[in-house]
Amino acid sequence: MSGFIAWVAHSGVVQGVIIGGALAFLTATLVLTVVARSVTTTVDGWKSIRACGRPGNGVLVRAASARALPLVNVFEEAAYWTTTKDSLGRALSGSRAYVLRFPPGQLPPNDAFWSLTLTDPVGYMVRSSIDRSSLDDLSDLAANTDGSIDIYLQHEPPAGHERNWLPAPPGGFKLMLRAYLPAAAVLDGTYRVPPVVEVK
């Protein structure tokens, strides 16, 4: 056994296979990253990939879409927006407090439902004291006097606004907004998700 290990350690063929495999992996990662950027739309920090799941997508677009949003529906069935940045382009962090304000009548338009989910930067759910990781159209959200709706994104409870609170971890986090059976304003790009604004 030790002789085989010694042969592997000094074999140019084995080393070549390992180096070739590593280079192939790095090349594929780089190519998929470039392709994903080319099909991603970013508005006010929110990213969306409208090409996900569409028939006729080439193998690279399909692979890049699956890497970014695995098992996602076509955009016409479910629109997805994600962000890890605030309105100033800084990484979202539970060490700061944010508000996501939807103007009156500007919750994601849809013919089914919408949801906003907070995860860690990788995409795993975050534990919180109120066992809440998402808000949706069935949530009992409080509206402002003008009809707008503020969603509070922070680690500590926002005094007086707990109904609209989506707890964040102490560190970085990611947001995913979804609209199922999105309305025409989403499909034609006229609907814009509001930016995530830090509260001073």
Q: Would residue 43 count as lying in a domain?
A: no
Q: Would residue 57 count as lying in a domain?
A: no
Q: Would residue 36 count as lying in a domain?
A: no
CATH code, domain with 147: 2.60.120.600
**Does the pLDDT at position 114 exceed 60?**
yes
Write the pLDDT tens digit of every residue in 18-37: 665 555 555 545 544 544 45
Domain count, the chain: 1
Q: Would residue 64 count as lying in a domain?
A: no
Query: What percent of the chain has a predicted confidence (pLDDT) above 70?
Result: 69
Name the band, by pLDDT with cuts 50, 70 and 90, for residue 50: confident
For every residue of the chain, DSSP letters joined together read -HHHHHHHHH-HHHHHHHHHHHHHHHHHHHHHHHHHHHH-EEETTEEE-TTTT-TT--HHHHHHHHHHSTTPPPTTTEEEEEESB-TTSPBPBTTS-EEEEEPTT-SPPEEEEEEEEEE-TTS-B---TT---EEETTS-PPBPTTS-EEEEEESS--TT-GGGEEE--SSB-EEEEEEEEE-HHHHTT---PPPEEE--
**Does the pLDDT at position 67 exceed 70?**
no
Q: Would residue 148 count as lying in a domain?
A: yes
Q: Would residue 32 count as lying in a domain?
A: no
Range of the domain at 108: 74-198
Q: Would residue 15 count as lying in a domain?
A: no
Q: Would residue 29 count as lying in a domain?
A: no
pTM (predicted TM-score):
0.77
Looking at every residue in the chain, the average pLDDT score rounds to 82
Write the pLDDT tens digit of every residue in 135-154: 999 999 999 999 999 999 99
- pLDDT average, residue stretch 39-58: 71
